[in-house]
Amino acid sequence: MLRRSRAVWIAGVLLVIAAASLPAWAAGPADPLPSWRDGPARRSILRFVSAVTKPGSPDFVPPAERIATFDNDGTLMAEKPYHFQLHFVAERIRELAPQHPEWKEEQPFKAVLEGNVPVIADIALPDLEKLVLAASAGTSEKEYTEAIERFLVHAENPELGFPFTKTVYRPMLELLAYLRARGFKIFICSAAGPEMIRTFSEKVYGIARENVIGSDMMMRFELEGKEPMLMREPRFVPPTNDRGGKPINIERTLGRSPILAFGNSDGDIEMLEFTAYSGRPHLGLLLRHDDAEREYAYDEGAEQAFAQAPARGWIVVGMKESFRRVFSTPLPRP
């Protein structure tokens, strides 16, 4: 008995020593996507990334060309009941309302001042642009950015009940980290104003300010004494960053096309099509909001994208079956 237990003890010690001296690879890599459930979406991502990053693979893509572009609203973070830029703009409109008595009777201002969520949530793009322009005209870029930063400190998603910057999807954060670790350069490509997303992209996503592409507003450069100033002008720099504007602005800004693109709506169709531009292996992904329990269930605004997905080989990622966990924050839905 004594002998045997001593032998076991010695074997145990030897095992511990052996394990401690094993090289890191022998333990197997940690799961890079723990919040993703095993399934076709997760597997297609792992397979693609492995193929394009393995030296000697026929699908190998050199790091300089490993460009990944992500839509923001509804892809990296919740966009319902309406997205955070509109929420911010509505707050600015309410602040500016005393100087604009005519807004009480004029849409879309009227809906904003009355807090009419259904109307605001269904706003058409020209009306949204009208609000964005009204909210920022005559402001300097610095003032505007500071107003966004103040807003993000106190503002919460009115339905989810936690801060906008916490409504990001944990599986997407893991995907960003995984791609980054495999040498991808990651860019956000959003219809929103880039100055909005830049206020939190580094902290929340680990994506540098300069890696955010969005709908730019025209600016004016001037000097106040010796102080350089950028004033926002009431018009957009064409093209706004939606639909066909996305590939154009990606090409303009990067001089490259993505080999991986992730979107969630018809506004992302052309960005996904653009993954085929370089002739490299490519992957298009679409997040489907089908989880009324944990987030939202809606296909509106994404019908064309889902209809085209099978023929184009785009992977539809159903939130319900693909995400083990949805939000990065553990806060429950109220």
The residue ranges that bind its own copies (CB under 8 A) are: 64, 141, 185, 194-195, 198, 202, 208-210, 212, 216, 218-223, 226-228, 230, 237-239, 244-245, 247-248, 251-256, 270, 273-274, 276-277, 312
Structure tokens, 271: 């960005």
Shortest distance in whole angstroms from residue 281 CB to its own copies:
15
d(CA 215, CA 129): 10
Question: In the complex with its own copies, which residue's Cβ is closer, 16 or 237?
Answer: 237
Least distance (Å) between residue 72 CB and its own copies:
14
C-beta closer to its own copies: residue 15 or 208: 208
Under 8 Å between Cβ of 191 and 213: no
Nearer to its own copies, 206 or 301 (CB): 206
- Tally of CB atoms within 10 A around 298: 14
- State yes or no: cis peptide before 108, omega within 30 of 0: yes
Kindly tell me which of 141 and 291 has the beta carbon lying closer to its own copies: 141
- Which structure tokens are listed for 210? 């300069």
**CB of 91: closest distance to its own copies in angstroms?**
21
Distances from the Cα of 23 to the Cα of 12, 50, 192, angstroms: 19, 21, 46
Q: Please report where in the chains the tokens 């193929």 appear, as a residue.
A: 51
Comparison of 123 and 147: residue with beta carbon closer to its own copies = 147
The residue among 270 and 295 lying less far from its own copies, judged by its C-beta, is 270
Q: What are phi and psi of 167, to 5 degrees?
A: -90, 20
The distance of closest approach from Cβ of residue 47 to its own copies in the complex, given in angstroms and rounded to an integer, is 22
Closest CA relative to residue 37, chosen from 321, 330, 326, 334:
321
Closer to its own copies by CB, 74 or 258: give it: 258
* Min separation Cβ 312 and its own copies, Å: 8
CB of 230 to its own copies, least distance (A): 6
Closer of 245 and 263 to its own copies (Cβ): 245
Q: Which is nearer to its own copies, 103 or 184 (CB)?
A: 184
- Residue 189 C-beta: closest distance to its own copies, Å: 13
Nearest distance, CB of residue 277 and its own copies, angstroms: 5
**Residue 219: CB minimum distance to its own copies, A:** 5
